[in-house]
Structure 1
Amino acid sequence: MSNDPMFGWDLTFRTVEKDIKRKSDVLVAFIHWNLMKRGFRSIGVGDERTLSGDETRSELLPTGWNDNENYTLRYVLDNKLFILHGLSTNGNLIINLMKSEDLAVSNIALKVEEAVKDLSGPIENMIPTHKDIMFSIKRDLVDSVTERAVNTSETQTSRPTSSSLADDPLRVPARPLPSVNPDTSDLWELPPAHLPSIGRSDLDPFAPPGGGMIFNPFGPRRDIENPGLGIPGGLPRGAVPPGARFDPFAPPAGPPVGRRPGAPDADHLPPPGFNDNMFM
């Protein structure tokens, strides 16, 4: 057989050239030739879905294949019946190929005026995009119904075994538990122990040695020199954090031991005879 992908087209077209009436006929003849190249055989016209067994199989288009505006052709491949429907609508030719055994259907749609330029002549003049159409016929019309996966339902319902999970190159390895190092290094491996755990104390309120979100006035980092205001019979020492705004509800017991008294508080009463001349 010749290596020319268009081998046999000229002979097929010569057998139907006198029957060509419109541009859609050229496309149907071209599709018929593609089916013949892939092992299909024509058994006539119509949409009968059963085989009697005595049909005459031929590589030629049957008589009356283009008598109607639409097309209905019957084919056989591997003793299985296929029915080709061609529907002309709004300048398009919609082709359906149905496998009668399981009613699987494939289809393609072609713009007639764009696909077919002449009713006769070389294939390059009649169908300039014939290579693209051949690819679409093979992939979308023929292969989609003749090369269906056999175990599609089984693969969708069966569970993967442990060996298949282990051999899956796209499987993400399980993340190890904290403080447990995996046998092999991977992206989930924990950092070495000698690295500082930066920011851990901000997540744990009571993280040792301190620095969490809750201030502990009795912790090791408290202000030893000024643990807070203590009031006899009232709040204990350390109850008021250093620097906090606090208005005492009783006079202080006196200046802290060992420290000089500070400046007068703004809430203290002025001394006798004091006049700041504010109302002069």
Structure 2
Amino acid sequence: MAGLEVLFASAAPAITCAQDALVCFLHWEVVTHGYYGLGAGDQPGPNDKKSELLPAEWNNNKDLYVLRYESKDGSRKLLVKAVTVENSMIINVLEHGSQQVSDLTLNLNDYIDSEHLVDFHRYF
């Protein structure tokens, strides 16, 4: 999982719960599939920039994470929303051009070991 440990190291101080850890992993998945992160929230902001790192304020709301992405060639944009419901996370991905929506529901306890959030080798 090249790059995930580096991303985790940069995000680790902000990871305080299982939801944060799962969103960090999801971000890594999107980036490794040819996208840059643009920013957090539904709308573009003045501080948006293409980056492989998680944007500032990416985890301000532990119940709703909203991240925007653009493909490296600029041809596609994604809006990713992850909603926490009890011990689950519902993830919706909207592709702007086609308006196609994909969704996935994950049980946080099946993927994240909340007892070891500070140890990369044990939390996934």
TM-score (normalised: structure 2): 0.87
1:15 is the counterpart of 2:13: no
How far, CA to CA, are the matches of 1:122 and 1:100 in structure 2? 33
* Correspondence for 1:126: 123
How far residue 21 of structure 1 moved from its aligned partner, in angstroms, is 1.4
1:102 is the counterpart of 2:98: yes
* Correspondence for 2:33: 38
How far, CA to CA, are the matches of 2:75 and 2:65 in structure 1? 22
How far, CA to CA, are the matches of 2:104 and 2:14 in structure 1? 24
* Correspondence for 2:58: 65
Classify the secondary structure of the residue corresponding to 1:60: coil
- Counterpart of 1:88 in structure 2: which amino acid? T
Q: Map residues 193-204 of structure 1 onto 2, 5 A cutoff.
A: none
Classify the secondary structure of the residue corresponding to 2:42: coil
How far residue 80 of structure 1 moved from its aligned partner, in angstroms, is 1.9
- Counterpart of 1:126 in structure 2: which amino acid? Y
Gaps of 5+ in 2: none
Report which of the two structures shows the higher radius of gyration computed on alpha carbons.
1
1:91 is the counterpart of 2:87: yes
How far, CA to CA, are the matches of 1:34 and 1:97 in structure 2? 13
How far, CA to CA, are the matches of 2:110 and 2:76 in structure 1? 34
Aligned sequence identity (%) = 28
How far, CA to CA, are the matches of 1:92 and 1:103 in structure 2? 25
What CA RMSD, in Å, does the superposition of the two structures yield over aligned residues? 1.8
Decide which structure has greater helix share: 2
Q: Map residues 145-224 of structure 1 onto 2, 5 A cutoff.
A: none
1:27 is the counterpart of 2:22: yes
How far residue 101 of structure 1 moved from its aligned partner, in angstroms, is 1.3
Answer 1 or 2: higher relative contact order, Cα 8 Å, separation at least 6: 2
Q: How many residues align?
A: 118
How far residue 115 of structure 1 moved from its aligned partner, in angstroms, is 1.5
Classify the secondary structure of the residue corresponding to 1:94: strand
How far residue 36 of structure 1 moved from its aligned partner, in angstroms, is 1.0
Asked whether the equivalents of residues 8 and 120 of structure 2 are also in contact (C-alpha less than 8 Å), the reply is no
How far, CA to CA, are the matches of 2:41 and 2:105 in structure 1? 21
How far, CA to CA, are the matches of 2:3 and 2:111 in structure 1? 20
How far, CA to CA, are the matches of 2:118 and 2:123 in structure 1? 6
- Counterpart of 1:121 in structure 2: which amino acid? D
Decide which structure has greater strand share: 2
* Correspondence for 2:68: 74
* Correspondence for 2:108: 112
- Counterpart of 1:73 in structure 2: which amino acid? L
How far residue 110 of structure 1 moved from its aligned partner, in angstroms, is 1.1
